[in-house]
Structure 1
Amino acid sequence: MEIGSIVLVLSVVYYGAEGSHIVGGRDAVPHSRPYVASLQQRGRHGCGGLLVKEDFVLTAAHCQVTVPFTVVLGGDLLAAKEPTKQTFTTVRSIPHPNYDGHANDIMLLRLNAKANLTAAVQLIPLQRGRLRAGGNCITAGWGDIGDNNTLANRLQEVNVTILSQRRCRKTWGAVPITRSMVCGTGVDNFQGFCSGDSGGPLVCDGAAAGVVSFSGRRCGDPRTPDVYTRISSFTDWIVNVINNEPLAV
């Protein structure tokens, strides 16, 4: 979906293929990212997410769909029946009230039950401090592995270098880059997230610093750096929802 000159990395579903990599990335060590969730419909991966409480997953607001997601935790191979996997359905989707199709692209999903925390399923803390330009982070997901409409089967990850707001705004030009966004690029050209990685985590120093939001026409293109929703801008909202959202009836 295009908005002006940007192309959002939406929850487009494609068939997977083993042995390939997220754009410019690598296979994650199995279950080394125990907080990553696969949001699925009809058994097919659509978006990523991250487990922030036993019964809450954080993702991107643009991933919102009209029917409940199936949420798979503890997975590495999407197609395999791994004993580590735990499967849930979503009972509520709670997008940020100020999401406008571009800014404030963040959403909480309430699960129908609490996850059992194991070695393969863990919460991730929220990053609260400032991100330093030039800092090294990681993003992970099961999205498009070659910018050619092919999803990964095994969880992929890629290194991310944080950009300054000034540089990101200059590079994106007329596309608004707000203070509640953070930008990053791969170490090399054409490394980064792609379709199907939406809602997945940007992890810096072991904490969740961002949620995959949008990129340019070509995945990993340094001329249009990857843009994440900055989690620290929404900590109060996240904590308030998690602490006050009523139980499902």
Structure 2
Amino acid sequence: IYGKTIFLSVFLHLFSALGSEIINGKKAEEKFMQYMASVQDNKIHTCGGFLVSEDFVMTAAHCLKSLSVVLGTHDLKKANKKMRYGVKMMCKHPAFKEVANGNDIMLLKLSKKVSLGDKKPIKLIPLPIQKLNLKENKICSVAGWGPTEPRKHRSGYVNELQVLNVPIINKDECQKVWGQIPKNVICAGGYKAKSGICQGDSGGPLVCNKLAVGIVSFNNGNGCKYPDVPNVYTDISQFLPWITDILKKKKCKG
């Protein structure tokens, strides 16, 4: 356990630049998860994200190179100027220092409002309205554009969005296996399973009951050779007052 704790602190510095990908998932259907966002640096995908209001995308705080966002396509090869939105403001949680300490959550204010409607290719995903206590083994989903096989996370990203079902893992067991995890997180997938997230696309949503309940934060960083320790997500329901204030005032809190 001590060794894993030391490894976590070293690994997370690497993870903040690499994010996480989907291992052993499947291609997302075209009209499924239309809230998904590709957070980009110089038009290169760096992280995932998801649309929570007409002018804000939520992602992980460690996704620091967030210069633009692509919405409205699952295939990044099809991204065009109309799908690209500039980032006007980065609202990183004020308590975030590094991934190991938690609070890995950020809101990106877009340079223009997203056109929404029943016949539009972009949808919002709702957030929880109160603190959640997800049941162990509940099946949720996670999506991303990262490589799809272990050991290939340095070779670039896939163009087509991948999605994966993951079970919620008991928090006490997750803490025991890791040795140390931040507060305000959810553990799901990667543990006792041959699938999970990996370096390449942090910031994507953990979706349960059609709600965005978590944000991809980190894993073990061992080349994604699952089964492994549980994958860890920021628990969105623990940050609702901070989120609500930003979405209401349309600017960073404080």
TM-score normalized by structure 1?
0.86
Question: In structure 1, what is the equivalent of residue 214 of structure 2?
Answer: 210
Please state how far the C-alpha of 1:133 moved relative to its aligned partner: 1.0
Distance 2:227 2:177 in 1: 9
Deviations 1:37-59, CA, capped at 9 Å, x for gaps: 00112221000001000100110
Deviations 1:151-174, CA, capped at 9 Å, x for gaps: 11100001110011111001101x
Question: In structure 2, what is the equivalent of residue 157 of structure 1?
Answer: 163
Moved more, 161-170 or 220-229: 220-229
After the TM superposition, which residues 83-162 of structure 1 pair with which residues of structure 2 at under 5 Å, given as runs? 86-102=83-99, 103-118=102-117, 119-127=120-128, 128=130, 129-147=132-150, 148=152, 149=154, 150-162=156-168
Distance 1:210 1:87 in 2: 24
SS in structure 1 of the partner of residue 51 of structure 2: strand
The runs of 4+ residues in structure 1 deviating greater than 6 Å are none
Question: In structure 2, what is the equivalent of residue 226 of structure 1?
Answer: 231
The answer to whether the 8 A contact 2:191-2:229 is kept is no
Is 1:76 matched up with 2:74? yes
The answer to whether the 8 A contact 1:22-1:152 is kept is no
Distance 1:137 1:106 in 2: 19
The answer to whether the 8 A contact 2:18-2:202 is kept is no
Please state how far the C-alpha of 1:81 moved relative to its aligned partner: 4.4
Distance 1:170 1:3 in 2: 11
The answer to whether the 8 A contact 2:36-2:48 is kept is yes
What is the identity percentage for the equivalent residue pairs of Structure 1 and Structure 2? 38
Please state how far the C-alpha of 1:143 moved relative to its aligned partner: 1.4
Distance 2:92 2:241 in 1: 14
Distance 1:220 1:134, change over 3 A: farther
Aligned residue pair count: 234
Please state how far the C-alpha of 1:195 moved relative to its aligned partner: 1.8
Distance 1:108 1:51 in 2: 10
Please state how far the C-alpha of 1:188 moved relative to its aligned partner: 6.4
Deviations 1:26-71, CA, capped at 9 Å, x for gaps: 0000131111100112221000001000100110000013xx5110
Is 1:4 matched up with 2:6? yes
| Higher helix proportion (structure 1 or 2) | 2
TM-score normalized by structure 2?
0.84
Distance 1:3 1:186 in 2: 18
Q: 5+ unaligned residues in a row in structure 2: which ranges?
A: none
The answer to whether the 8 A contact 1:57-1:111 is kept is yes
Q: CA RMSD in A?
A: 2.4
The one-letter amino acid paired with 1:232 is: S
The answer to whether the 8 A contact 1:185-1:220 is kept is no
